[in-house]
Chains A and B, each alone.
Chain A
């Protein structure tokens, strides 16, 4: 009797031990992360494939959404802990009273307005009936278009009646087949694909509009996540940093790993990763510039007075605060 009990106990321990081979001692902390699909989100794919979060004691739950709006709604409703979105959608939420801040910069990618009409050389050449596709109203592409319209046409809303909302793949297909739209404000890889098509050319790009590079996406988390789970928060920052660094240092391996995910050849993926302007970085760029413009143009009620209002301490620490005249990093936020 006693022997059989002992045997059973042994068996239980052995099977239990077999079932938990990955545990490094500490319990795994769950973190729910919202992203979208595409080249921009390559660090997330890399982290997933290489199990980077697990190394930091995190058990990531990946949630993929179809649009930035859906990511934002998932964050607001508490479905996820961290999400990635453009600065303008983040600011719209912040303006509406969402208690959230920027966790990290995400990536810098070239963004551009591509047209299929050889007669369109600048924004001035758009006629009222020429449709310009953007992913959604209030998206970073829409706000960039408004910025450009203010600079070149005198009013941020000058092209608002030209915009149509289309997800990137639909917009690219419509632009290339010349069905209904004249231009598409888009991001890689669609930007690259469109620009390689005969008859399509760039009207204006992000750096021309904004003046210098800025984070296309930022990581965003609710204040309560930051307050209640600081260890998970910092593990997340480290893990995402490792994923980015790995891509930057291992472009070829990264291309191989990412290619099946995007349905591209490794060569094509590598070409995209090496495209001029691509930069996987967690550093903050241009966090404040959008706020000022959006407040002036009426998309939000007021601009953040300081970065501290919209970013957590780790981001503030990177930017720093130079005594005297602002530092390079401080200046690049505007």
Chain B
């Protein structure tokens, strides 16, 4: 790798026990993420990609194997690994936009005074393009705005790595595209490492330096694809389509010819393409 290794996942196994049965959610997951890298995790539902993210965040303990950041083993949640969730409920409804960020700053001991924390929070609100919404309560914001605040809050505590669990999964197609662009800009501005779970092929190609494709039962890595496309990326580009087809095939769709035909139609309606992917996955 051209970048120094930061996150190392070694022979990770994760079993869940439910109703007397053992479910092997992750088996022998092995990969590393470099500093400042943007890695996408993609796979069908139940492939364990979210579980992997939760193991890295420290919310789940691996059954065996290890996860380490900068050589230190991860044993629990930590502020250097901030998670952004899919749920719109991740903001604290009793705090305004600014207070949500200031709260994160306060409990992590950042900013010497309230005034200073306010100033820091303001810069992050500006970074996600929400200047003017400082004093709005979460219930007054749209879904996209809420996710922006969540990203701002996660970034405000200066994590080494941002763990994003389908953060745009509940947004409409148009908002999703805008936020993808914004996320790339923010990533470039801050240099933070991003691990991004999605089940949308196009989103994975738009965002990541590398795309980790998972398969299911047990959840394991099928293939790690490099994504060398130059940014800004366009779905119109030929290479884009090539990677799209590659992932599509990796995800196990049997009739690429037919899918390609569908894709051409769908190209006219970007949003609907996603729908076809979603229903097929």
A touching B, CB within 8 angstroms: no
